[in-house]
Structure 1
Amino acid sequence: MVTRDTKLGRYTIQLLSERGVELEDIARLVTELQAPYNPQVTDEMSLYFVERTLRKREVQHTIITGIEIDKLAEQKMLSEPLQSIVEKDMPLYGADESLALAIVHVYGSVGITNFGYLDKLKPGIIGELDKQKEGKCNTYLDDLVGAIAAAAASSLAHSHPNISQSFH
């Protein structure tokens, strides 16, 4: 897959992995999102769409930016009041979701709906990241992972021929 063949793509995947996120974790979320609409979906198919989403440079840039902000917060290198806001993942702080939506918007309204669902329920790796507090800041990362899954699920849905043909 091309994602792993570019320096920026490899770096993005490495950053995710260093933060405890493997592409297979995201693929499982995609499968969970799409299974009710496409019973043939597999984790392998979902992984393809995750990697396809991660090929986009704007997605890579967004992931790198969010992870770097989380890392700076862990190192207490942000100015106040931003340091406290990010470190505590304050409920009314929406910049993390706003950044993640940049990924989702690449794939349209289905992606936005998927993202909202994942952000509310926090299944799988998203919930694990959200609960990590001791020495870790995943304020941006949990939303970025949700956005990648939502975008990949949207891309998969748009490519599934039975969905588009069922309306004709």
Structure 2
Amino acid sequence: MILMILDKINISLEELIDSALSLYIGDKNEIPKVREKLKDIMVKEINNPNVYLLILAAYLLDKEIKEEFKDDPNYIYADEVIGLAIANDIAGTKGIFNFRFYDKHKPGVIGRLDREGYIFLDDAIAGFIAGCMSKALY
């Protein structure tokens, strides 16, 4: 169901994978292997009930508050908490560490969501990508 919701806002599984791999710093010859492993992990983790519910919550929160908060005010950190919780659930401390990397650089879909005013969903997706990438590489 989450992939169907993301599809409504033009986010595909392939775009999530591309966004994750855009910050890959390992051996470029390994990318096809990492891509396949990452895809398997993403498909599995998108069905993890906690991950699923946190991403859904982020999506619904953004729908509710989009007009109230047109930018991402510094005093709101609940969005970061959602992203960190997702990354932690998928890959533990490695996922949390990697979340900061993806949240800072905002590659691909994460940056697009941020520019489109998704305060919560950009961090949820950053946490999802960071956790899955951490699990794929370690």
TM normalised by structure 1 equals: 0.72
Superposed CA RMSD:
1.9
Superposed, 1:144-159 pairs within 5 Å as 144-158=124-138
Contact 1:25 1:125 in 2 (8 A): yes
Pick 1 or 2: higher relative contact order, CA cutoff 8 A, min separation 6. Answer: 2
Instruction: After TM superposition, give the deviation of residue 32 of structure 1 in Å.
Output: 3.2
Answering whether residue 16 of structure 2 is matched by residue 29 of structure 1, we say no
Answering whether residue 73 of structure 2 is matched by residue 90 of structure 1, we say yes
Superposed, 1:39-50 pairs within 5 Å as 39-42=29-32, 43-50=35-42
Contact 1:25 1:124 in 2 (8 A): yes
Answering whether residue 4 of structure 2 is matched by residue 14 of structure 1, we say yes
Partner of 1:105 in structure 2?
A: 88
Instruction: Name the CA distance, whole Å, in 2 between partners of 1:37 and 1:92.
Output: 39
State the secondary structure of the residue aligned to 2:31: coil
Match among 99, 102, 112 for residue 115 of structure 1: 99
Instruction: After TM superposition, give the deviation of residue 29 of structure 1 in Å.
Output: 2.6
Q: Which amino acid aligns with 1:95?
A: A
Contact 2:110 2:123 in 1 (8 A): yes
Contact 1:33 1:153 in 2 (8 A): no
Answering whether residue 120 of structure 2 is matched by residue 140 of structure 1, we say yes
Partner of 1:69 in structure 2?
A: 61
Contact 2:2 2:55 in 1 (8 A): yes
Q: Deviations over 1:61-88 (max 9, x none)?
A: 00110100101123x5xxxxxx33xx32
Q: How many residues align?
A: 135
> Which structure: larger Rg?
1
> Which portions of structure 1, spanning 4 or more consecutive aligned residues, are displaced by more than 2 angstroms?
29-35, 41-46
TM normalised by structure 2 equals: 0.86
State the secondary structure of the residue aligned to 2:19: helix
Percentage of pairs with the same residue: 26
Match among 33, 53, 76 for residue 45 of structure 2: 53
Contact 2:19 2:110 in 1 (8 A): no
State the secondary structure of the residue aligned to 1:126: helix
